[in-house]
Structure 1
Amino acid sequence: MSFQQYAEYLTYISPIILCFGIIIGALYFNKLDKIHRVLWAYLIGCLIIDLSSRILSQLDNNNLVLFFVVGLLDLLIFTYIYYKVTKRKLIVLLIGIIGVIFIAVELIQTNVDDVQAFQEYSSVVVSFSIVSMSILLLTESLTHAKPMPQYFSFLNMACLVFFAFQLIFLLPLNFLINEDLMAVYFIWVLRIIFLFTFYSILTSLIWKNGKILK
């Protein structure tokens, strides 16, 4: 079995973890607080996008438009979460609004059917926005000497690491889409690992929150 085949099989881990997280969230839904309910909704959105990506790949061999959908989902969900927990609500709101406008403008201007020329930067902007929110909350916590709840501190660090990686990963997107090199496959595999690790963390947080409030 080739490395490419192993990499393809790895892509099935994410939807399995997402399904597991969604089931856990559904079982504990009435016991979850608002933030964890939003995280549960995020997992549902990610699963829908994952399945849509596979369907579009089979039907049209082109699922590039979903980069914009993923970016919008990430930005809306985490802007809401950070807006709820930070004291600098206006800054977070402005970051979110600017990000949404950027996504909308780039989507209108980008030809998603031209795979060879495809290069979108809205995902980079989204990742940068969420990293900025994460750092903003971290500095706010340190400045006011008021520690965040343990679960949110963990979530914040997970967001910081994951979206910082996304920020770097998505910069050479055109190269990663069009080049058929072994190094490119390794990078995609690394992203898959980061992705299902992030989903696992969110699932764990949802489960723990449901158990705590039991």
Structure 2
Amino acid sequence: MIRAVIFDLDGTLIDSAPDIHAAANQVLEGEGLPHISFDQARSFVGRGARVFVERMEHAVTGGNEPARTAHLHAQFLYFYERAHEHTRIYPHVPEMLAELRGNGLALGLCTNKPLRPTQAALAYLGWKDMFDVVIGGDSLDVAKPDPAPLLAVVTGLGLTLPEIIYIGDSETDAETAERAGSRFGLYTKGYRKTPAEQMFHHFRFDDYRQMAGQMFQPG
């Protein structure tokens, strides 16, 4: 029996790429480095803030230098925590979350976004108390696609893998679910770069009004 749904955040429940792009360029401008494009920023999302910064740094300088990476990462986290102006909830997500709650399901969040920016985003969106367990990209020593963060949410909910469904949008999420042995639903309008049919998933959808009806289908 399914007793909880665990979600990724960026690209799954919210479109935060415009604010991530803005935060990145604030950092680069402050360092006298070239800006990155929106498409670049969007393509760098998925493996956590540190990897985002490494990809950003490599794109504008042609390489990565540990001291510079660490400095850019610290600067990025400062702006990232405050970047909410252009973040938008995907259509029909609030109604979907309310429906799940109304049906007695617990809700978890498993994101590679660092915990402080995650908490700031949830407060901004009015979701401070929406999720029963929240694991960020720096909550553990490892991040997705290592399955440990997803398993930590499952444990925090007091459940087992057969009792949850994980919902995400990216290759990182699909790999996390596959490695964990979790049932996985793919939101196809997120930040993935691979064709949906080539990614691990048990079901996929492009409209949150479809999700609940597919969650309990076999397969």
Q: Which of the pair is proportionally richer in helix?
A: 1
Q: Which of the pair is proportionally richer in strand?
A: 2
Structure with larger RCO (C-alpha < 8 A, sep 6+): 1
Q: TM-score, normalised by structure 2?
A: 0.28
